[in-house]
Amino acid sequence: MEEEAPAVPAAAAAGENSWPSEADESAFLAEQRGQGAAAPPPAAVAAENGIDAQPLPSLEELVQRIPAETRAALDDLFRAKFTGVRRVPKTALKS
């Protein structure tokens, strides 16, 4: 008995990284809920990881906290671009 290979999007087949569309993601989440795998609400995840639920500061505010010399060095060495603010669980940080 031969099994069919899962369908691969054209972008993935061409070796490009692509995010699933909103429709694909909604279908996946609906399927997961149907199988009984409900995602915990964000507040529960935050409480579990010891993260406070206060709103995150703006990206521009955080970038301004970095000394100008450091920002210039990062730009020269890595061409670093700050694109977003995210919470990270304390367990993911080295102490």
Query: Model's pTM, two decimal places?
Result: 0.34
Fill in the DSSP letter of residue 84: -
User: Where residue 69 falls among pLDDT bands split at 50, 70, 90?
Assistant: very high
pLDDT in tens, 9-59: 555 555 566 788 888 888 888 888 888 766 656 666 666 666 666 788 899
Above 80 in pLDDT, residue 89?
Answer: yes
Asked whether residue 27 is assigned to any structural domain, the reply reads no
Domain that holds residue 71: 55-89
Decide which of 6 and 19 is more confident.
19
User: Where residue 5 falls among pLDDT bands split at 50, 70, 90?
Assistant: low
Asked whether residue 62 is assigned to any structural domain, the reply reads yes
Q: Shortest CA distance to 46 belongs to which of 35, 55, 36, 33?
A: 55
Number of domains in the chain: 1
